[in-house]
Structure 1
Amino acid sequence: MIIFGVVGYKNSGKTGLMERLVSDLTGRGLTVSTVKHAHHHFDLDQEGKDSYRHRTAGAGQVLLSSATRWALMSELRGAPEPPLSNLLTRLDPVDLVLVEGFKRDSHPKIEAHRAATRQPLIAPGDPTIRAVASDSALDLDRPLFHLDATREIADFILRETGL
């Protein structure tokens, strides 16, 4: 499975870049899945719904299915968060998996950066970051793209991954 990541600090433009990349790449005929890391408690369920009730009653996994989609929720119940490699095994085969977050993992990545966040770049200390997408000019030892240059960033990812 070929994976490529998008990393950056909060409000750096990661999610918007991911959204545009998925649209661009699927528009070229590639199949793409995504993995998003969340640093906080999140809930896909709504209180009172049957699946929520199953989960809060103690079910380790709840699979919800309809004619348009299905979702599998797994409760860790105090167990450690699974590594990205384990999560990837749960995905159906596709041409490319775009991963948002998981910045400490060893897969190749592009860093999203906005000057307004006043956050330092991650790239200088991380060789897995192959390029930076920013809204400002930066002096770097790797490719720099404008944050909104989606087509050029997608082309770069395709070259890097051999797709």
Structure 2
Amino acid sequence: MAREAVVLQIVGYSDSGKTTLMAKLIPLIEEAGIRVGVIKHDGGHDFEWDQPGKDTWTYREAGASLVAITSRTKTAMLEQRPLPLPELIERMAAAGAELVLVEGFKRESYPKMVVLRRPEDQELLSLVSGVVAVISWDAFGHPGVPVFSVNDRERVARFVLDYYEAGKKGTG
């Protein structure tokens, strides 16, 4: 039987604080004994992971479809094709992630925490599905879901941990 991970998206407009929030949450969740996997959507950019002149870059430039590198402490694999979010989540779970935090992929249907920086960003709440919480820089609200300050990482982490526990019961 394939492992299942609990999935939670963190969405918001550019520069809303998604990455900073996730970087503050990850250690708190890992300290609770939960293995966290992270998937980042690069909205339309063609990111570069390996560096020009390095062996992995040379192999990729030579046309390899897949390039992997491993050391005593880590492994990375780069594929020369986009993968759908469900497949990325499945791979994260197979690699041992218990909770997968997804930054971006606004159109996907997984449960979402929406990060709002400016008052005009509230429109995003009507454009996405599955909102389970709002993380705000100001006193924004959303009927029916908890609202947290972006600076209250402990309360946000407690929400994520509770969400994870409820999700494990639903998938177990």
- Scaled by the length of structure 1, what TM-score is found? 0.90
**Equivalent residue for 1:100?**
103
**Are residue 64 (structure 1) and residue 65 (structure 2) matched?**
no
* Aligned position for 1:151: 154
For the residue of structure 2 that corresponds to 1:122, the secondary structure is helix
TM-score, scaled to structure 2: 0.85
Which residue does the alignment assign to 2:21? 17
1:96-120 deviations in Å (ceiling 9; x for gaps)? 111111111111110111128x534
| Identity score, percent | 35
8 Å CA contact 2:17–2:117 kept in 1: the answer is: yes
Give the distance between the partners of 2:149 and 2:158, measured in 1 at CA. 13
5+ residue gaps, structure 2: none
Matched, 1:109 2:112: yes
For 2:162 and 2:75, the matched residues in 1 are separated by 33
Give the aligned partner of residue 88 of structure 1. Answer: 89
- The one-character-per-residue Cα deviations of 1:44-94 (angstroms, maximum 9, x if unpaired) are 111111110000000000001111211000002xxxx32100112222122
1:55 maps to: 60
Letter in 1 for 2:18: K
CA RMSD after TM alignment: 1.6
Q: For residue 35 of structure 2, what is the aligned residue in structure 1? A: 31
CA distance in 2 between partners of 1:139 and 1:99 (Å): 22
Does the aligned pair in 1 maintain the 2:116–2:137 contact within 8 Å?
Answer: yes
